[in-house]
Chains A and B, each alone.
Chain A
C-alpha cells in the first residue's frame, strides 16, 4: 500500500475512533467524584440475585462476560503467534542441546534468587487462582503469574531445563481444552466460580507460555539454512 493510501486509511480509522471515543466518554462521571452510576446499578442487580457475596457476584456473574472476551482475545493472539512464528521452509530449528544455552554463566546470586523465587511464585499464582472469589485476583491474574513464573528458570540461566519443563504440545492442548471448558461453563451458567477460575487460569497460563515459547524458538533456535 502506498504511503498516501495508508494515510487515508489511518485518517478514516482515526476519525471514526475519535467520534466513538467522544460519544463514549462524554457522559462519564467526574474523576474521583461521589456519583457512581455503574456501582449503583451493579450492586442493585447483584442484590436481585439474592447472592450471599455481592462482590463475587459482580466479578464472576456480571463480569464473566468480559473475561470471556479477554480470554478469547488472548487465545487468538497466541494462535497468531504460533502461526506467524512457525518454522518456514528456508529455516530449520536447532536442537536446544546443540548450544551452550545452559546452564549458562550467570551470577550465583541471580541463579539462587531464581530458584528460590520459582516455588514461591508458583504457590502465589495458585493462591491467586484459588482464592480469587474472595480477594483481588482470579483466573486471569493467577494464570499470568503462573505462566510467567516458569520463565524464572530461564532467568536463572538454564534454557534446556525450561524447554524440558514446558512441552509445547501439552500446553497447546491444555489451552484449547481450558478455553472450551470455560465457554461451556459460561454458557451453561453453572455459576461454579472456582471451576471457572481454574479454567481461565489454565487457559491464560498456557497461552502466555506458548507465546513466549514461540519467541524463544525464534531468538535462540531457528536459523536460515544457507
Chain B
C-alpha cells in the first residue's frame, strides 16, 4: 500500500516522527512512502528522509497563520497527489485535527493514539486509561492513524537518495482561528520527557520543594516529570505532566516520589520498564505496579539516595 506520513509543523525530525516513518516503511511493504511537512523550509527535513525510503516530500510554499484550515488543506492536497490509502502521523493535536477533518471529508476511518498497526491494517490502541487494549480495523479503503509516542522502535535512517521536494500551494476559504502570538518553551538542558531513558517524577507529597526532584533527576541524567496535582499547584509546568491528560512515558527507569498512583497517572507510565516508587503510605496504589518500592519519607530517602549516587560515582 502507499503510505503518506504527516511530519507536522516543526521542520525537523523528532523522535515520534522517526517512529512513524519506521512504521510507514514496514506497512508500505514496497509501496510508495511519501511525506508532508507543514514547515516552509523543507530542505532541512528532506536530507534525512531518503534514509527512511521516502520518495516524495510535499512542502507548502508559505507559512500558515490560521489554525487547522491550511494544515488540513495541505494534507488533503498531498493525499490527492500521493494516491496513499494510509495516512500516518504522530499523535499531536494539529495532526489529529487534520486527520479527523479529512476522515469526515472522505468518509474514511480515523484511529488516534494507536500503539501499533499490523500489515492487515489492524490497529492496536489502549483505552480506559490503559486498562484495556483494543484492536480495530478500518472498513474503508482509506484510513488515517496517529501513533502514540514510544510505540515503535524507531530505526536510524540508512543511506538513501533525498526525496524529490514538491511544493504545494493551497488556498483556503472558511472559518478559522488566527494565531496572534507564539511563545517558545524555554530550552532545557535536561533530556526530553518523552524520549528520556530515565524519568524522575514528583507528586503532591514532594510539596513546594520540587527542586529536590530536579536535583535527583540531574544526578541520574533524567528528565523531570510531575503528577497533575503538582501541575495544578503550580510547582511544575504542564508540559511536565505524566498521565492521561499529560504525556505518556515509557522509559527504562521511572522513579517517582510522593505520587499516589491514581489510574489517570498510571495511564501515562505503566509501560515503563522498571518502576521505582517512594511513598510514605505503604498502601499507596503506586506500590501495586512498582518493581521496587520504598515505604518512607521522601525528604529523607531522596537526599540519602543522591548522596549514595555521588559516592558511587565518587
Answer whether A and B are interacting partners: no
**Which residues on B are within 8 Å of A, measured CB to CB?**
none
**Which residues on A are within 8 Å of B, measured CB to CB?**
none
